[in-house]
Amino acid sequence: MRDLLEEKPVAKTSLAAHGLRFEIDGQTKVDIPLLRLDGEGPTMILGPNGAGKSLTLRLLHGLLTPHAGQISTPATRQAMVFQKPVLLRRSVLANMDYALRAAGVSRAKRRKLALDFLHEAGLAGKAKQAARTLSGGEQQRLALIRALATDPEILFLDEPTSSLDPSATQAIEAMVLRAASHGTRIVMVTHDLGQAKRLGRDIVFLHHGRVACHQPTDTFFATPDSAVAAGYLRGDLPI
Amino acid sequence: MQDFASSFTHAMGLILQGDAELWAIVALSLQVSLTAVIIAACIAMPLGAALAVTRFRGRNVVVVLLNALMGLPPVVVGLMVYLMLSNAGPLGVLQLLYTPTAMIVAQVILVTPIIAAITRQTIEGLDAEYAEQLRSLGVSASAKIPTLLFDARYALMTAFLAGFGRAIAEVGAVIIVGGNINHVTRTMTTTIALETSKGNLALALALGTILILLAIAVNAAVSTVGLRARSIAYA
């Protein structure tokens, strides 16, 4: 594994996992002795199905408690966008308001903040609509700005565009890049190599719950440090 | 058959003329059962939701027990409440036996497990969908119960109406603790039982008709609520 510190400027928010291990029914599903996300990102987590991408993301976010090891980060504000957006059975605006209230934003500020974000996502006209009647792309946009409205230092995304069409995917990617340029540390799972190239500054490649390699995006795609990753890029089945 | 036809005509007459005695009985029934269901819902919904989101040893036993309590026999509940409220019972000093309050107490006991069990099942399903997102938003385990109850509001209307259907239609509990006293504790079901045995079929049939119409109305309400919820994708 190469040290990314030499090549990338140090971001404000770093994240590291030490001795991370997670089991399901006695089987080790994630085993990461050391993973340092020191660069400014976005970091893309790649790997075949069953490599432990989603589990790793949940462990990093703290949704799952590891059987061993710990996550260290100075970031106190974190948010996550899920593969299938989980929208409350309320209006679009009420979804925003709920997240802001949970984040401790005062009632006086919530409405304006929510409307600003809805406007940015092109959803201002649908503020009063039932959130779950939005289209798939709109739902994921709402889930994304609901996460961003709480001003997270780290934003985790778990294949947020896997069920979206290209134009909806493009909208989400633009919003992710904008958030990254405003200083939000992005850690994103994807199985879309093109997306990893478009968005990622560095790639973490997982295989069988282990980090096979962690490199800057351009060198990863040119000369991956791991044979499994090289095979994956060629289109081999990583058995 | 002649008897039945004339009783039925007479019964329809009672309903259409707005017979005062008939409507007083209907009003008391509604008052008792609605009060009981509202009280039961206030107890059962938070309880069911709490059971849905907590994990502890023996939880499965509690869930099975709760589901089993849905089938509590009304006469047995009536008997238990009777023993508690009778002069010799621990709550005898309250002098509640043979009052509408006693009937409400009995129906609350009967309906609470029904609403709690349906709530538990509904909220558990919703929590499976919401749990990670709410954790990610930093919502604590106790703070998520009101969220889940609110977001399950359409589904929980069904629980409420199921409880109401049970309460308004049962006869065993209210007849024991209410005593079927004319103008005081006489409900639709107890009146039907009494008047039928006395041979006064007209009043019994009139009340039976209203009871059936109420049952249909409750079911229609459940369906309408369900349709509305689906139309806005909140089901």
pLDDT at residue B134 tops 80: yes
Contact A102 B139 (CB under 8 A): yes
A contacts of B153 (beta carbons < 8 Å)? 89
Q: Are residues A104 and A217 in the same domain?
A: no
Shortest CB distance from B233 goes to which of A80, A82, A132? Answer: A132
* Residue A51, domain extent: 4-86+151-234
Write the CA distances from B180 to A7, B24, B118, B171, B172, integer angstroms.
88, 14, 31, 10, 11
Tell me the shortest Cα–Cα distance from B149 to chain A, in angstroms. Answer: 11
Q: Are residues A103 and A60 in the same domain?
A: no
Helix and strand numbers (H, E) in chain B are 10, 0
Q: Decide if A219 is inside a domain.
A: yes
Q: Decide if B151 is inside a domain.
A: yes
Write the CA distances from B79 to B74, B103, B182, integer angstroms.
9, 12, 21
For residues B108 and B34, the answer to whether their CB atoms sit within 8 Å is: no
Q: Are residues A177 and A222 in the same domain?
A: yes
Q: What's the whole-number mean pLDDT along residues B203-214?
A: 93
pLDDT, position A140: 97
Residue A31 sits in a domain whose CATH number is 3.40.50.300
Residue where the block lists tokens 């401790």? A104
* Residue B157, domain extent: 20-189
Q: For chain A of 239 residues, list the mean pLDDT of each consecutive stretch of 10.
A: 40 85 95 92 94 96 95 92 96 97 94 96 95 96 96 96 95 96 95 95 96 96 94 85
Q: Are residues A210 and A128 in the same domain?
A: no
Tokens read off for B140: 């604590």
Chain A interface test: which of B127, B133, B153, B228 (most A C-beta within 10 Å) = B133
pLDDT, position A10: 39
Q: Are residues A77 and A112 in the same domain?
A: no
Determine the Cα–Cα distance for residues A112 and A200; give it in Å rounded to an integer: 32
Q: Is any Cβ of chain B less than 8 angstroms from the Cβ of A80?
A: yes
Contact A102 B232 (CB under 8 A): no
Q: Decide if B180 is inside a domain.
A: yes
Determine the Cα–Cα distance for residues B110 and B149; give it in Å rounded to an integer: 22
Shortest CB distance from A86 goes to which of B130, B138, B152? Answer: B130
Contact A82 B151 (CB under 8 A): no
pLDDT, position A6: 40
pLDDT at residue B112 tops 70: yes
Q: What's the whole-number mean pLDDT along residues B155-166?
A: 92
Percent of chain B with pLDDT over 70: 99
Contact A133 B233 (CB under 8 A): yes
DSSP letter, residue A64 = S
Determine the Cα–Cα distance for residues A119 and B4; give it in Å rounded to an integer: 69
Q: Are residues A158 and A80 in the same domain?
A: yes
Determine the Cα–Cα distance for residues A127 and B12; give it in Å rounded to an integer: 51
User: In this predicted model, which residue has the larger pLDDT, B13 or A206?
Assistant: A206
B contacts of A99 (beta carbons < 8 Å)? 137
Contact A102 B133 (CB under 8 A): no
Last residue of a domain, one of A107, A133, A159: A133
Q: Which residue of A has its CA nearest to B132?
A: A63
Q: Which residue of A has its CA nearest to B155?
A: A89
Q: Are residues A205 and A164 in the same domain?
A: yes
Strand partners, A156: A80, A187
* A vs B: CB pairs below 8 A: 44
Q: In chain A, at which residue ranges do the beta strands (DSSP E only) sit?
A: 15-24, 27-37, 43-46, 68-72, 78-81, 154-158, 185-189, 202-207, 210-216
Q: Decide if A141 is inside a domain.
A: no
Tell me the shortest Cα–Cα distance from B39 to chain A, in angstroms. Answer: 26
HSE on the CB side for A114, CA within 13 Å?
A: 24
Q: Decide if A24 is inside a domain.
A: yes
Q: Decide if B226 is inside a domain.
A: no
A contacts of B156 (beta carbons < 8 Å)? none
What's the domain count of chain A? 2
Q: Are residues A111 and A173 in the same domain?
A: no
Determine the Cα–Cα distance for residues A189 and A210; give it in Å rounded to an integer: 15
DSSP letter, residue A127 = T
Q: Decide if B201 is inside a domain.
A: no
Tell me the shortest Cα–Cα distance from B127 to chain A, in angstroms. Answer: 11
Q: Are residues A118 and A188 in the same domain?
A: no
Shortest CB distance from B234 goes to which of A79, A99, A130? Answer: A130
Q: Are residues A103 and A162 in the same domain?
A: no
Determine the Cα–Cα distance for residues B2 and B7; give it in Å rounded to an integer: 8
Q: What's the whole-number mean pLDDT along residues B141-158?
A: 93
Q: Decide if A69 is inside a domain.
A: yes
Torsion angles phi and psi, residue A22, rounded to 5: -140, 135
Angle at A24 between CA A1 and CA A228, to 5 degrees: 30
Residue B153 sits in a domain whose CATH number is 1.10.3720.10
Contact B138 A89 (CB under 8 A): no
Tell me the shortest Cα–Cα distance from B35 to chain A, in angstroms. Answer: 29
Determine the Cα–Cα distance for residues A155 and A186; give it in Å rounded to an integer: 5
Determine the Cα–Cα distance for residues A114 and A142; give it in Å rounded to an integer: 11
Q: Decide if A170 is inside a domain.
A: yes
Q: Which residue of A has its CA nearest to B139?
A: A102
Shortest CB distance from B132 goes to which of A82, A89, A98? Answer: A82
Tell me the shortest Cα–Cα distance from B150 to chain A, in angstroms. Answer: 9
Contact B147 A98 (CB under 8 A): yes
Contact A80 B138 (CB under 8 A): no
Q: Are residues A69 and A99 in the same domain?
A: no
Q: Are residues A82 and A11 in the same domain?
A: yes
For residues B135 and B53, the answer to whether their CB atoms sit within 8 Å is: no
B contacts of A130 (beta carbons < 8 Å)? 232-234
Q: Decide if A167 is inside a domain.
A: yes
pLDDT digits (tens, 9 = 90+) for B76-89: 999 999 999 999 99
Q: Decide if A140 is inside a domain.
A: no
Q: Decide if B199 is inside a domain.
A: no
Contact A82 B129 (CB under 8 A): no
pLDDT, position A12: 64
Q: Is any Cβ of chain B less than 8 angstroms from the Cβ of A63?
A: yes
pLDDT, position B2: 59
Q: Decide if A54 is inside a domain.
A: yes
Return the SS3 of A18.
strand
Contact B132 A130 (CB under 8 A): no
What's the domain count of chain B? 1
